[in-house]
A and B are shown apart, each in its own frame.
Chain A
Amino acid sequence: MTKLGSAIFSRLVIILPYAWLLFFFLVPFFIVFRISLSTTAIAQPPYEPVFALADGLSGIVAKIGQFSLANYVWLTEDALYLNAYLSSLWIAGVSTFITLLIGYPIAYGMAQAPRTLRPTLLMLVILPFWTSFLIRVYAWIAILKPEGLLNQFLIGIGVIDTPLVIMNTNWAIYIGIVYSYLPFMVLPLYSALEKMDNTLIEAAQDLGCPQISAFWKITFPLSIPGVVAGCMLVFIPAVGEFVIPDLLGGSQTLMIGKTLWNEFNANRDWPVSAAVATILLLILVVPIVFFQNAQAKAEEQGR
C-alpha cells in the first residue's frame, strides 16, 4: 500500500504540471500556427476553416486543403511588418546594452559592499520588482512629459531653456525598458560577481597588474555567465514588449508587440496576428534556446 502510494505520488508530481504545461503552453502554439494558415472571415470565430467533428474525415481533409500561406506573404509585402520586427530587435538590443552598462556597476558595487549590508541591498533591488510593471511605466509619463518633472527640474537649474522632447520618442522607450528590466540584469550579474574569489584580483595586483586591466582580464571574463543570463532576461521579453512602447512611445513608434496588439484588438484580424506571433516566436527561438541551455548549465553546477 505504501509502495503504491509513493509510486502514485512520484507519478503525480511529474504528470500534473507536465500535463498542465502541455495543454496550456505547448498546444496553444500549435493552434496559433494553425490559425495563421487560415483566412479571415466575418464569423465567430473570425477565421476559416473551422473544424467540426461533424465534418468526418473527408471533410477535415478538404478543409486542410483550404490552408494557405497568404498571411505570411502579406507580412512580406507590407513593409510595416518588416520594419516593426527590425525596429523591435534594434530597440531591444540598444536597451539591453544600456541596461548592461548601468546594471554592471550597480551589481559590482553591491558585490563589493560589506557582507552585512549585502542582503539589504539585494532586497532593495528586488523590491521595485514587486510593484506593478504598469505603475512603474506610468510613473515615467509624469516625469518625461514636455511640461513634466524632468523638464521642470532641468529648466529650474538652468541647464536648458526649452523643454526636451523625450516623450513619444524612442528615447522614452529606452528609458522605460532600462528602468523596468534593470533588476533582471542586476540580479544574475550580482550572483556571478558575488561568488568571485577576490584573491585572484589581489594576486594579479601583487604581480603588478593595474586595477583596470585586472578587471578586464579577470573579473569581467568570470562574470560572463551573469552577463549572458542578464542580457537574455532583458532582451527576449523586450522584443515583444507592448506596454512600454504603447504608453511612452506614442503612436509613431513601431514595435512588433504593439503591431500584434493592434492587429488583433483594433483590426480584428486573427489570422494575421497569429502569423505575426508565429514569426516573432521563430525569431526568438534562438535566444530562448540559448537562455535555456545557460539555465540548465547553471542548474547542473548547482547540483
Chain B
Amino acid sequence: MNSWSRFNIVSVVLGFAFLYLPIVLLVIFSFNESKLVTVWAGFSTKWYVSLFNNQGLMDAAWVTIRVALLSATIATVLGTMAALALTRYTRFRGRLLFSGMVYAPLVMPEVITGLSLLLLFVAIGFDRGFVTVTLAHITFSMCFVTVVVQSRLLSFDRSVEEAAMDLGATPVKTFFEVTLPIIAPAVLSGWMLALTLSLDDLVIASFTSGPGATTLPMKIYSQVRLGVTPEINAACTLLIGLVAVGVVIASILTKRREVQRLRDEQAAFAGR
C-alpha cells in the first residue's frame, strides 16, 4: 500500500486543477489589454492604474482593512478565551449552551446571522456603520478562532502547565508564560483566519453596514452586478496577492519558531 497508485495521483491532480484553474484564469485576465475578460488581447497593466484612480474602490479597501484588523484582533482574544473555557474549565453552568453558541455560527447561513444582527442594532438604537460591521465580524469570526485554538489546546501536553503551577506559578502567569507561547502558532493562524473571513465577507457586512462604511466586497459585488470588467479582476488579484503574502509570512514564522523551539529543547537536554 506504500506505492501511490496512479488512480490516487490522478484524482489529487485533477482535484487541485479544479481548485486552482479558475483563480489562475482570473489573475491572467486582469492583465488583459481588452475590456473583455474572456478574449485575450495582449498584456497590459492599465487596469491596475485605473483601479488606483478609482477613489470609491480605494476608500472601500481602506474601510475593509481597518474593520478586518480590528475585528480579527478582538475576535482572537475572545476566541482564545472561549477555547480555554471549553478545554480547561470543563464543568461550569451552561457549558452546553456555550459550546452550542460556539459551533452554531460555523455553519449558520450568513443571511440569518446578518439579518439577526441588523435587527439587534436597530432594536437597541445603534446607528449602523463602521462599529456595527466590526462587532458583527468579531461575533462570527471568534468562533473560528476558538475551533483552531481549541484543537491545539487539546493536543498539547498538560503536564507542562501542571509543572509550572506546582513550582508556584499562578494560573495567570502559567497561561502567559507557558500556555500562550505553546499555542501561539494556533493563535496566529486563528487571527489570520479571522482576518480573511472579515476581508471576505459580503453578506453580513451588507446587512450591518451603514452609509460611509462600504466595504470592498460590497463595492466589488455592486460592480459585478453591473458587469464583469478587468478592473475587478485586478482588484481581486491584489487581494489574492495580499492574502498569499500573509499566509507565506505566517507559515515561515511558525516554521522558524518550531525550529527555534526544537533547538532550545535540544540545548536544554544537552546542558543538564
Contacts and interface: CB of A to CB of B under 8 A. Distances in A.
Contacts of B108: 236-237, 240, 284, 288
A28 B207 CA distance: 13
A10 B89 CA distance: 8
Interface in A67-91: none
Nearest to B9: A109
B78 A17 contact: yes
Contact of A106 (B11, B23, B85, B228): B11
A303 interface: yes
Interface stretch (A55-63, A154-162, A256-264): A256-264
Interface size class of B (residues with CB under 8 A): 35 or more
Contacts of B29: 142
Interface residues of A, number: 95
Interface stretch (B41-49, B109-117, B180-188): B109-117
Given A17-B81, A24-B139, A152-B38, A274 B101 contact: no
Contacts of A222: none
Q: Name the prevailing secondary structure of the A interface residues.
A: helix
A130 B243 contact: yes
A247 B94 CA distance: 41
A5 B115 CA distance: 40
Contacts of A16: 78, 81
B226 interface: no
B110 A17 contact: no
Nearest to A178: B18
Interface string B1-41: 10011011111100110111011011001000000011000
A295 B143 CA distance: 13
A125 B20 CA distance: 10
Interface string A7-39: 001101110111011101111110110010000
Interface of A: 2, 5-6, 9-10, 12-14, 16-18, 20-22, 24-29, 31-32, 35, 45, 102-103, 105-106, 108-110, 112-114, 121, 123-125, 127-128, 130-136, 138-143, 145, 147-149, 152, 179, 182-183, 186, 198, 201-202, 232-233, 236-237, 239-243, 247, 257, 260-261, 264-265, 270, 273-274, 277, 280-281, 284, 288, 291-292, 295-296, 299, 302-303
23 contacts: A17-B85, A18-B85, A20-B142, A22-B101, A26-B97, A31-B123, A114-B4, A132-B240, A142-B25, A142-B37, A143-B22, A145-B38, A232-B107, A240-B110, A242-B109, A247-B224, A257-B111, A274-B115, A274-B119, A277-B111, A277-B112, A292-B100, A299-B154
Given A14-B85, A18-B101, A138-B236, 18 more contacts: A22-B101, A31-B116, A102-B15, A125-B19, A128-B23, A130-B247, A132-B196, A134-B200, A139-B26, A143-B22, A179-B18, A182-B19, A233-B106, A237-B108, A242-B109, A242-B110, A277-B111, A288-B107
